[in-house]
Amino acid sequence: MYLNNPLISLVNSCCLFADSFCDTNFFFILQQKKNIKSTESLDQNEIVVAQTQEEEEPTESFCLVQPIEIGQVISQETTETSGVTSCQEEPVQEEQTGTNNCQESPEEEDLGNEEEPEESAQESSGTNTSQESPEEEDLGNEEEPEESAQEEQVIEHEGENSINSPQPPTQSINFLHCQEENKTPLSKILPKTEKHLKIGRVIGEGPFCRVHLGWHIDLQKEVAIKIINDPENEKYQEEELEILRKVTGHRNVIKFYGAFYHRAPRRSTPNKGLSISMELCTGGTIRDLMSGRKNNSLGEKWTAYICKEVIKGLCHLETVEVIHHDIKPINLMLTSSGNVKIGDFSCATMGRKSSSTEGTLTYMAPEALACMRKKNLDYDHKADIWSLGVSALEMVEGYLPYRQLSKHQLMNQILFGPALRPTWDKWSEEFNFFIQECVQKNPAKRPSARQLLHHPFISNLCDEAAVKRSIAKQLQRGWKN
């Protein structure tokens, strides 16, 4: 009954059709999965073959062999599109310009590091009132070049293939070079004079400057103020300031208390220009002391004491590598208690050698005068020893040798004339020997300052304290008169 029913037959046929359709789709899906797996395995084989070909054929690589410089950083970046490894320098981001540049070579780095302290020197030199002790400054200037020299040797030993080069240390501030780079005038660098100094009456005057009695507001003490109003020669003023900062701190060298600048709106304003604050030596100069003695003569004992103190100061100048160039009685200062100090460093130079022709002709050594006639010559600190010998002869005898000669005759006498010697025969053998040693024309045979300390004329000085007291009494008598 049910088999012949057409409705039941139709349902059975539909079920059979659905079963066959599902089986067909099932086998179709399985076939698609097999095709995908076979395709993936084929792609992997092709990638492996491609990588093998790249390893076997290095000529297709775009990485060119280039010499590696010191400080150069190399990084490998793989491009996604080509799959080829390329060597690229790692970009370095500059803070100021924002551009990408490769690292500089060591020589360029050294030059850059030398210029950095020059810029910072302008700020430090302007704050001259808070001064450091000179001993610390000297130690810092002597130790830093040694550290930088050691690092330069490390760079040389590492060779050209070294990647990480050591950075040079921060250099000490140098006031002398702060102007050479930016050409900034002293009026914009130094603090204002009126805020730190009170300027009093004139106590001395030279061709290019005036010396005033003054009061240092920060230190609360009397000082001597040297005022220079010559903006066209600021280079020489900068050198003098640097030398004063370098030599100050020794008991036989005049103390330096700072530099300031008076920015006056009008040219006719008094006290305008550079003001150098220095120690006030109320005893005057050795020349002033000579003028109060009979025949302007100080005698051998006073001269021996003064020369000994000056020699100690010259030993200090030799240590810090400064040549004075103008040792003479008028530049040797006295305190009220009889201490002797070297002053006026306007002609001084820095370094072990110099070719300067500055100074006073009568006291100049032959090697210094030779630089006037021939270029490419230089000399050392022993030129100051010659000047000391001429000064000692003047202090004992009361007048300068060759004082009646013209400039041309004086130069020829110093260069080619006989050796300088005392005029009178009444002086001791030790003094004659001292002059003979100081004014030897060959600087190689001339003793140094340290050697002169052991000379009999200096070392045999008896009762040095009594000589100092007698000089102080002479100064007091001079003030009363």
Phi, psi of 279 (to 5 degrees): -65, 140
Q: In three state form, how does the secondary structure of the chain look? A: CCCCCHHHHHHHHHHHHHHHHHHHHHHHHHHHHHHHHHHHHHHHHHHHHHHHHHHHCHHHCCCCCCCCCCCCCEEEEECCCCCCEEEEECCEECCCCCCEECCCCHHHHHHHHHHHHHHHHHHHHHCCCCCCCHHHHHHHHHHHHHHHHHHHHHHHHHCCCCCCCCCCCCCCCCCCCHHHHHCCCHHHCCCEHHHCEEEEEEEEECCCCEEEEEEECCCCEEEEEEEECCHHHHHHHHHHHHHHHHHCCCCCECCEEEEEEECCCCCCCCCCEEEEEEECCCCCEHHHHHHCCHHHCCHHHHHHHHHHHHHHHHHHHHHCCEECCCCCHHHEEECCCCCEEECCCCCCEECCCECCCCCCHHHCCHHHHHHHHCCCCCECCHHHHHHHHHHHHHHHHCCCCCCCCCHHHHHHHHHHCCCCCCCCCCCCHHHHHHHHHHCCCCCCCCCCHHHHCCCHHHHCCCCHHHHHHHHHHHHHHHHHC
Range 164-173 average pLDDT: 34
Q: How confident is the model at residue 209 (pLDDT cuts 50, 70, 90)?
A: confident
Closest CA to 180 of 89, 247, 118, 252: 118
pLDDT surpassing 60 at residue 408? yes
Rounded to whole angstroms, the Cα distance separating 469 from 339 reads 10
At residue 15 the predicted structure's pLDDT band, cuts being 50, 70 and 90, is low
Residue pair 341/333 in contact by the 8 Å Cβ criterion? yes
pLDDT score of 161 more than 70: no
Q: Which of 381, 361, 396 is nearest to 446 (CA)?
A: 381
Q: What is the Cα–Cα distance from 275 to 225, expressed in whole angstroms?
A: 6
Q: At what angle do helices 429-438 and 299-319 cross, to 10 degrees?
A: 30
Contacts of 255 (CB under 8 A, 6+ apart): 248, 249, 278, 279
In 3D space, the residue among 341, 311, 286, 251 whose CA is nearest the CA of residue 438 turns out to be 311
Q: What band does 318 get if pLDDT is binned at 50, 70 and 90?
A: very high
Q: What is the pTM of this model?
A: 0.63
Of the ranges 31-35, 153-157, 271-275, 469-473, which one carries the lowest mean pLDDT score?
Answer: 153-157
Could you report the per-residue pLDDT of 256-269, keeping only the tens digit for each? 999 999 876 666 56
Give the pLDDT band (50/70/90) at residue 401: confident
The residues that are catalytic are: 326
Using a pLDDT cut of 90, give the percent of the chain over it.
49
Query: Are 434 and 459 within 8 A, CB to CB?
Result: no
Out of 27-31, 121-125, 189-193, give the one with best mean pLDDT. Answer: 189-193
Residues 195 and 198: their CA atoms lie apart, in Å, by 8
pLDDT of residue 261: 92
How far apart (Å, rounded) are the C-alpha atoms in residues 94 and 104?
12
Question: What is the arithmetic mean of pLDDT over 214-221?
Answer: 96
Question: What CA–CA distance (Å, rounded) separates 164 from 160?
Answer: 11
CA angle, corner 384, sides to 378 and 390, nearest 5?
125
| Domain boundary assignment for the chain | 186-279, 286-476
Q: How confident is the model at residue 158 (pLDDT cuts 50, 70, 90)?
A: very low
Lowest-confidence pick of 74-83, 217-226, 292-301: 74-83
pLDDT band at 403 (very low <50, low <70, confident <90, very high): confident
CATH fit for domain 286-476, picks 3.90.1150.10, 3.30.450.20, 1.10.510.10, 3.40.50.620? 1.10.510.10
| Structural fold of domain 186-279 | Phosphorylase Kinase; domain 1 (3.30.200)
- At 255-310, the pLDDT tens digits run 999 999 987 666 656 778 899 999 999 999 999 999 999 999 999 999 999 999 99
Lowest mean pLDDT among 63-72, 155-164, 234-243, 370-379: 155-164
Mean pLDDT lowest for which of 9-18, 357-366, 372-381, 397-406?
9-18
Q: Would you state the pLDDT for residue 362?
A: 94
Residue range 99-137, pLDDT digits in tens: 444 344 434 334 333 433 333 334 344 434 334 444 443
